[in-house]
Structure 1
């Protein structure tokens, strides 16, 4: 049986890149070629993870641009040179403009994001503390398509964890992050198989 050709993806990061690492580690199973890892921060540890795996990296620092739109257009220009099937946001701490979303939410490309909550609950920040404060029995993570409305695109997959009485925001975040590392590769694979 012939091997299916790999799907090209790019990954945008801002920090440590632990979800990036799980995608790198599972790339063969997912069936992807990570063309480039792009960061808006030059000191993001995820860039080193990419280099260790022999993946091309690019730094486009948002602080060097006069506006969000200018930054996003620089991102668009670079990503268009690669023509990926999926733009993967893995801890990319920037809200993307409508122009960026329109450029890569097409019939031939998609933008995915991972969010540390069971959407549609707890969009935005401080998700773990909000779940604890609400007295929820479980929390989790969601991978969703990116739209113009924050954390509101169609959910692709979710994984949940039990909130123990002893949990605080930090312990809950660690439990959820372990599930994120399983969830994101599965969600990317699911999207590519559609």
Structure 2
């Protein structure tokens, strides 16, 4: 982990140097339905049906986050400094999928901006990014103390990472917490995570 990657800012106007914090989900042997979006200039990206992606909604004149299965040809994909029309959308089954967690919550794939989150958390990508704040803070702190080669979280070869599983298991409580003041929410999440991490020995 700690691999350098690129992402695009939320407004689509800036290229951001990013890092992969952990692999939240690895399923190298599972066959899954993918949606492949091809732009009018030939760029394409493939996502599982529940994976989120930022799109430009021309009717509302703003960028939104939608799950792949809800994106239509009326939407525009986000590339650096431009919004690009979708030429076609195809569905096909592919073997294997991977879900990294980055510092920004976004990732650049074939010059197209995607979210690193799915809608399986049943909240917005911005909310998921917020509740993952303790993970990002811990990652930055340990890398600052131990150096940039330090990987603070255990790595998984297959399945859902235990920390991601924690968020899914407690998503009902987390949805309640995010309605409280942010400093209270962050404190409680950190306390819950510390207890969970200590119990399951998830740190290196």
TM-score by length of 2: 0.29
- Which of 1 and 2 has greater Rg? 2
Highest relative contact order (Cα 8 Å, sep 6+), 1 or 2?
Answer: 2
Give the strand-richer structure, 1 or 2.
2
Give the helix-richer structure, 1 or 2.
1
TM-score by length of 1: 0.30
